[in-house]
Structure 1
Amino acid sequence: MFFHTSFSSFLIVLNKAIIFARFKNRFMKNLLASITLILLSVNFLLAQHDFRFKIDGLNDSIVYLANYYGDKMYYNDTAVVQNGGKVVFQGDEEKHGGVYAIIMEDKKSYFELVVNEKEIVMETNVEDLTGNMKVIKSEENKAFYEYIAFASDMGKIAQELSVKIEASSGDQKAKFQAEMDDLNRNGEQYKREYMEKYGNLFAAKMLEASREPAVPEFKDENGKMDDDRRFRYFKQHYFDYIDLSDDRFLYTPVLDKKLTYYIEKLTAQIPDSICQTSLYLTDQTADTSLIYKYIVQKITNTYEESQIMGMDAVFVCMAENYYTQDKAWWLDTAKLDNILDLYEVRQNLIIGEVAENIVLMDPDSNWKSLYDIDAPYTVVVFWSPDCGHCKKELPVLLKSYHESKETLGFEVFAVGTEFKNNNWKKFISENELEWINVSDNPEINQNAMKYIVEGKTTLNSLNFRDFWDIYSTPQVYVLDDRKKIIAKKLAAEQIADFISRYDEKKNL
């Protein structure tokens, strides 16, 4: 407001001066030129970003401004190419610091730039967008493209030496290998000098963030390399060169690669370890930061949808530590409620939890209880007679049941999921499903309160579809003798083999 008021006052005074004073033509020309300059400057003064590019050889086209976010790139803005290949992206919103790209209309050709300044001016041509780049104004991109040029030259030399090393032998091979070693040392020296020169710039911080820790040659008491200690050191120092409290890294290709590698390669792929990793990573950030949000979302989404048995426990852990603690500040009430509802279901279904009892009627209207089964192992299968996959899986399970029931000691508790169960009874009879078959039916549901009060069944038994998260069929759970869940999501042909291996391991 101050700028606009002052500028308006200036124009009023100027108008009065023009009316009541007589000036020489030369002075008037200079004054008008000054006004024009001021007017042209207004847009820049108000703009929070002013990115200008000249791309020789590019005409009558559209280009896109895109930005990294995590492991993907998203379109951010669009500009029409002006005469002479001029491209302007200007606006009053501030752009997040990070790595952006100018993408040509073919959506294949592009060049990258570092955004961490209000004004950026760069020139290149369509023949080689990156190789012919000239940075006119932007200290960040001068440093960025200096390193790109160095890395490109080093890469070409390294590739040539690699070919020579592969094709040679003896002294000649050793000579080329020595040259490669020298090249690597020169590269490391350049990086050190680069950091000393540009260390305060974000472009240099990105280069530094890509570094991996140099691991000491730890040896055990016998003088052999101690690989376990080396691994622990590498993991402990993996994030030494990146500031996880700096949200600009989220808008680069660096952060997600490091997070993914740490989670998938440096963390044991068991739920407890992954859960501890999430807590460790978020402890490095502020609860209100975008990187914090990204870490929580990345781990939650990855393991909520995981098809690997048991990994839904990671989702439960994330819900307990973040979503139920009112730490997911980016979610609206509806989305948070959806996650909490899913958590309420899945917390009871993870491996290691004791399964909820199911009490339903068999085809002869007799009440059957899951907890009444006296067997070392129980296979609970939810299925529908109208499900094509169930029609393939149940005969396979039946064959395994006949072959392994006595040797492995497992019983099957099969729950039909259809309300109207005439087809259910027909399928059981035609396929001679000799295990325990149960289902609800319209009569049970119409008299639900009566049966619950009489102790015939339970509310969770009648609501088994929701309680057991039956969104598709078949669904399989394997329980031990205490009815603890020890496996889930197995194919019928895998069940007997799993029980056999589990039993052997348990008896070791």
Structure 2
Amino acid sequence: MLLISCVLAKAQTGYNIPITLKPYKNTYVYLGYYYGKMKALADSALLDANGKGVFAGKEPLPGGIYFVVSPRKEILFEVLIDKQQKFSIAADSASLPNNVTFTGSQDNLLFHLYTRFTNQIGGEINRTNESFKAAKNEKDSAKLRIRLKQLTDRMQLYRDSMIAKNPNTFLTALFQAMKEPVIPPAAKHPGGKYDSLYAYRFYKSHYWDGVSFSDGRLVRTPFFEAKMEKYYKELVVPNPDSIKQEVDHMLLYSRSNQEMFKFLLVHFVQKYVNPEYMGQDAVFVHLFEKYINTGQADFFTEKYKDFMFKRAYSLMANLIGQPAAQLDLVDTLDKPASLYDIESEFTVICFWDPTCSHCKETVPKVDSIFKAKWKNEGVTVYGVMVDGGKDLWKKFINDNKLSGWIHAYQLPSQQKQEEAAGKPNYRQLYDVYQTPILYLLDKDKRIIAKKLTYLQLDEVIDLKLKNKKI
């Protein structure tokens, strides 16, 4: 009896999806899937002379939205994969997506009906949008706006009906996750008047109502990552502390599903290791310290772990708001020229190389704005020669009349002492792996801004001075 049970259990594992796909024959077709914004292939099937083949494997496929791909690598139609992984597909590429038949999969029967409906409504929406663009007066535009709303409402009503009739299906989980909050009418806002702050808070607090972060199937859909990016772009305050709080919240709720946890952590690491906005690298450092360096992310390759380790330690010492690392360097006469000996309202550190073409163009411009403006605003420029050699460095300073700066470099003997002591060098402490690089420090040598252009740095100085006067 036990042997029979084991055989039955083994027979029920894996997936087996026979497919008949006209007019293809004696060729391969493919089963692909979404993974966030990416697409990948999961399997292939060789069609015989009658256009018949089988997608099959010993291990079950992870749940999600998959798609059938033609021999020419074109997506033909989508397929839902969930617990039931033994069903058949019959289709004719000449009449897609309408002529697709699923046998043995209730989810895909419902999904196919929905796909046909959305194609019909989607076509009407596209035509209405084109008419809206060509509208010649406000009266026509108003009519078309009403029509667009009617069409989108029909789409949502269809989804709501599907949810009500089929509450426990994968398709319902997808519809719930795709839903966006509907802001209450103005009459229901505090005081009975439209309140933009209330609307924002309501929308944000209900944005994830239909999403379960323990549902790993959502990572294999074309909309989940886009929904997440919209949330962080439009609804989360873009300062590092706010982002860290949101990220931790999501990762906490995904703990029960390794697939979702992995997807989210990889997404956040890749987004914030080289962030769009200055200062958000603090989010990556937070992720590294809390999750990666504590052994909670063993799914990263050793090569990528090494990259993250080095990147994190190159950022830890130069996060916005932190005290800048000490620079015990010497000037052109090899006399001490320490960063922390500077007494100034602001200090601009300029890491540069006299042989670097970009530096040759930028450094004189930094000098021009320094002499024309910054000097009178209490700004000191601390120029650090990174490479290029002392002779070329001094020649460039003299040729371009870079007077008024504190020029500094590291003696070879200082560098050897650092290496012998196992201390991080200034390249690591300031993440200097290209030139020129500019940092802006306040009077206490805390980092205000980094890796901006000299014009952007000027805007920050103006803003700081303006705020100081208020």
Provide TM-score, normalisation by structure 1.
0.83
2:110 is equivalent to residue 143 of structure 1: yes
309-318 vs 87-96, greater mean Cα deviation: 309-318
1:82 aligns with 48
Which of residues 38, 57, 60 is equivalent to 2:26? 60
Kindly indicate whether the alpha-carbon contact (under 8 Å) linking 2:25 and 2:51 is maintained by their aligned counterparts in 1. yes
Which of residues 106, 113, 134 is equivalent to 2:72? 106
Q: 1:96 to 1:214 in 2, by over 3 A?
A: same
2:454 is equivalent to residue 488 of structure 1: no
The 2-side partners of 1:142 and 1:6 are apart by: 31
1:22 aligns with none
Kindly indicate whether the alpha-carbon contact (under 8 Å) linking 1:396 and 1:493 is maintained by their aligned counterparts in 2. no
Which of residues 14, 25, 32 is equivalent to 1:48? 14
Which of residues 109, 123, 131 is equivalent to 2:90? 123
Aligned residue for 1:84, secondary structure, equals: coil
2:403 is equivalent to residue 425 of structure 1: no
Kindly indicate whether the alpha-carbon contact (under 8 Å) linking 1:49 and 1:118 is maintained by their aligned counterparts in 2. yes
Which of residues 194, 198, 203 is equivalent to 2:162? 194
Kindly indicate whether the alpha-carbon contact (under 8 Å) linking 2:272 and 2:283 is maintained by their aligned counterparts in 1. yes
Which of residues 357, 366, 371 is equivalent to 1:397? 366
Aligned residue for 1:119, secondary structure, equals: coil
Letter of the 2:44 partner, please give it: T
Q: 1:222 to 1:423 in 2, by over 3 A?
A: same
Letter of the 2:346 partner, please give it: Y
Provide TM-score, normalisation by structure 2.
0.89
The 1-side partners of 2:221 and 2:309 are apart by: 31
Q: After the TM superposition, which residues 224-235 of structure 1 pair with which residues of structure 2 at under 5 Å, given as runs?
A: 224-235=193-204
1:367 CA displacement: 0.9
Q: 1:229-277 deviations in whole A, cap 9, x for unaligned?
A: 1111111111111211111111111321221111111111221111111
The 1-side partners of 2:146 and 2:20 are apart by: 43
Which of residues 412, 430, 438 is equivalent to 2:408? 438
1:20 aligns with none
2:462 is equivalent to residue 500 of structure 1: yes
Q: 1:233 to 1:150 in 2, by over 3 A?
A: same
Aligned residues: 466
Aligned residue for 1:78, secondary structure, equals: strand
The 2-side partners of 1:66 and 1:240 are apart by: 29
1:377 CA displacement: 0.7
2:436 is equivalent to residue 474 of structure 1: yes
Letter of the 1:201 partner, please give it: T
Letter of the 1:262 partner, please give it: Y
Unaligned 5+ segments in structure 2 are none
1:203 aligns with 171
Aligned residue for 2:94, secondary structure, equals: coil
Q: 1:304-332 deviations in whole A, cap 9, x for unaligned?
A: 11252222122122223322343223235
Q: 1:169 to 1:408 in 2, by over 3 A?
A: closer
Unaligned 5+ segments in structure 1 are 8-41, 453-457
1:2 CA displacement: 6.9
Aligned residue for 2:344, secondary structure, equals: coil
1:93 aligns with 59
Kindly indicate whether the alpha-carbon contact (under 8 Å) linking 2:215 and 2:257 is maintained by their aligned counterparts in 1. no
Letter of the 2:247 partner, please give it: S
407-416 vs 299-308, greater mean Cα deviation: 299-308
Kindly indicate whether the alpha-carbon contact (under 8 Å) linking 1:419 and 1:442 is maintained by their aligned counterparts in 2. no
Kindly indicate whether the alpha-carbon contact (under 8 Å) linking 1:206 and 1:254 is maintained by their aligned counterparts in 2. no
The 2-side partners of 1:469 and 1:173 are apart by: 54
Q: 1:318-373 deviations in whole A, cap 9, x for unaligned?
A: 22332234322323566445423432331220111111111111111111111111
Kindly indicate whether the alpha-carbon contact (under 8 Å) linking 2:214 and 2:257 is maintained by their aligned counterparts in 1. no
The 2-side partners of 1:308 and 1:468 are apart by: 17
1:326 aligns with 295
466-475 vs 491-500, greater mean Cα deviation: 491-500
1:346 aligns with 315
Aligned residue for 1:342, secondary structure, equals: helix
2:39 aligns with 73
Letter of the 2:459 partner, please give it: D
The 1-side partners of 2:374 and 2:136 are apart by: 64
Which of residues 232, 239, 244 is equivalent to 1:263? 232
The 2-side partners of 1:224 and 1:99 are apart by: 42
Aligned residue for 1:110, secondary structure, equals: strand
The 1-side partners of 2:6 and 2:278 are apart by: 68
The 1-side partners of 2:168 and 2:354 are apart by: 67
Percent sequence identity is 27
- Computed over aligned residues only, the root mean square deviation of the Cα atoms, in angstroms, reads 3.1
